[in-house]
């Protein structure tokens, strides 16, 4: 007596390449769980972030949130939230971004219409060329005043500030290992914090800043 064997379901094929769309169409198409960026009318899907990537991005977000709230400086946003720049044009999803009070009018319901004052990108192996290349020049030309590039694999942090010439200039961290933000005046980052395992407790950072 033969026995019926249930056929093994086939895996769904990957989605076909999406047609070009306007930014408005992209915002209408993407939902809150969609991790994608929009560049020159094309949708670019982002790879899932690693645990280390997530932990460092969350750490930076936490210390920013508390510093900004303590001094009433503005708003801190995290991915997935779009920053629309007109220089290319593009709609990017920085890992962390700060928008000062004077620029809160740029903040719309689902995107930031213009540059954030400070942008942080935590580099993943697949995003290294994009964060150092396309995004670097888009953020520079778009008017982002300060750009942090954090590479957990290489344990390397780079800090750029926009000069009067509208170009990013690398800021060298001194022998004390401290980076002093120009946008968030008074915020000092001990770069070695980023490579600690586990990352420093939030309270210890706040004590260092004299906030508790």
pLDDT surpasses 60 at 183: yes
Q: How confident is the model at residue 37 (pLDDT cuts 50, 70, 90)?
A: confident
Mean pLDDT of 179-198: 97
Cis before 51 (ω within 30): no
pLDDT tens by residue, 4-14: 444 444 444 44
pLDDT band at 129 (very low <50, low <70, confident <90, very high): low
113 has pLDDT over 60:
yes
- In the numeric block, which tokens belong to residue 74? 């503005």
What are the start-end ranges of the H helices in the chain? 23-29, 51-71, 128-132, 134-142, 202-208
Q: What is the pLDDT of residues 47-90, one digit of tens each?
A: 777 899 999 999 999 999 999 999 999 999 999 999 999 888 99
Are the beta carbons of 151 and 157 closer than 8 angstroms? yes
- The confidence score (pLDDT) of residue 11 equals 43
pLDDT at 200: 97
pLDDT at 27 over 60: yes
Out of 21-25, 119-123, 190-194, 197-201, least confident range? 21-25
Please determine, for residue 100, whether its predicted confidence score (pLDDT) is greater than 90: yes
Look at residue 15 in the predicted model and tell me its pLDDT. 53
Domains of the chain plus CATH, in order, are 49-208 (3.90.1570.10)
pTM: 0.86
- Phi first, then psi, for residue 87 (nearest 5°) are -70, -30
CB 207 within 8 A of CB 193: no
Cα dihedral sign, 98-103-104-107 = negative
């Amino acid at each position: 007596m033969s026995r019926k064997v249930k056929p093994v379901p086939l895996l769904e094929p990957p989605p076909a390449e999406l047609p070009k769309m306007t930014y408005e169409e992209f915002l209408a198409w993407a939902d809150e769980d969609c991790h994608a960026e929009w560049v020159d009318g094309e949708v670019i899907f982002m790879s899932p972030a690693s645990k280390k990537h997530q932990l460092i991005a969350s750490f930076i977000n936490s210390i920013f949130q508390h510093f900004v709230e303590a001094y009433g400086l503005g708003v801190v946003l995290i991915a997935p939230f779009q920053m629309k720049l007109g220089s290319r044009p593009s709609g990017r999803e920085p890992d962390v971004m700060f928008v000062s009070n004077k620029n809160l009018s740029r903040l719309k319901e689902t995107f930031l219409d213009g540059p954030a004052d400070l942008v942080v990108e935590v580099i993943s192996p697949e995003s290294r060329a994009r964060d150092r290349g396309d995004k670097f020049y888009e953020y520079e030309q778009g008017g982002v005043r300060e750009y942090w590039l954090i590479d957990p694999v290489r344990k390397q942090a780079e800090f750029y500030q926009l000069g009067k010439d509208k170009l990013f200039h690398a800021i060298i961290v001194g022998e004390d290992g401290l980076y002093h933000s120009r946008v968030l005046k008074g915020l000092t980052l001990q770069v070695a914090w980023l490579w600690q395992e586990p990352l420093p407790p939030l309270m210890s950072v706040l004590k260092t800043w004299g906030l508790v």
